[in-house]
Amino acid sequence: MKPDTQVPKKKEANHHSKAACKSIKGQLKGKELFRLVYGREGSDDEVQGLLNRLNHKRANPGVDFVGELVVKLPHLHDMTLAEFFGIEQ
């Protein structure tokens, strides 16, 4: 018997992750976002790496990473969880 070599597709939607990544990025450009998060200028590769971690199609950021970003990004401080995750009332 030949083993199934296909990776199973993700069945659940990622709309909460997509909304969270969008909230984190806000209106910030890559270099500005990197500077706020890490407190220094980043190389092009470092900035792209951060943007990839916040791309809902490439990654699903962990809660510890998201928490660190919330601490460091002022535009998230007054946002409710519903706003952050795109949950409509």
Specify the pTM.
0.77
CA-based R_g, the chain, Å? 16
Confidence class for position 71, pLDDT limits 50, 70, 90: very high
Of residues 21, 32, 30, the one with CA closest to residue 85? 21
- The owner of tokens 């510890």 is 64
What pLDDT digit, counting tens, does each position of 8-67 carry?
A: 666 666 788 889 999 999 999 999 999 999 999 999 999 999 999 999 888 888 889 999
